[in-house]
Amino acid sequence: MSNSGNDRMLIMNREFVLASQSPRRKYLLRQIGLSFTTDPAHIDESVRPGEAPGDYAVRLALDKAREVAGRRKTGVIIAADTIVVVDDTILGKPADADDAGRMLGMLSGRMHRVITGVALLDAGTGKAVSRFAVTNVWFRELSLGEIAAYVATGEPMDKAGA
């Protein structure tokens, strides 16, 4: 049963701010018909010792939301962060083309987890909700040529795990 009328009431007259410049995140929000502005966050994305991957993804999302909320008095801040985990190793965005190739080699022919942490924070009250989702991904075996060709496109440079 849909509550589409109630759902619309929840978002009417609210200012939404995406704490990102990610084209993929913008696309997803537009797909659900949400009006929003963007205000990218700039945070330290270092992993803390002993931090579980899901907790790390949520912490990054919350840190991004809080950083943007610190510049605003109102609005609902939407923040997210996606990481890739293979063999208990967290892969962020590649530092350069060589790093992207190394990451793709690690993923080739194997299963890995993609974890996305999401946070919504009301800048006026400071109240936040956050969650993470895990997706298991099976990668087919990639040849060195396929990896090199993909890296050469530049596409993997802004994605966790290349």
The catalytic site residues sit at: 81
Could you give the residue ranges of the DSSP H alpha helices within 70-120? 97-107
Three-state DSSP class for residue 111? strand
Three-state DSSP class for residue 87? coil
Report the DSSP beta bridge partners of residue 79. 119
**What token pair was written down for 14?**
């609210």
**What token pair was written down for 103?**
């990451």
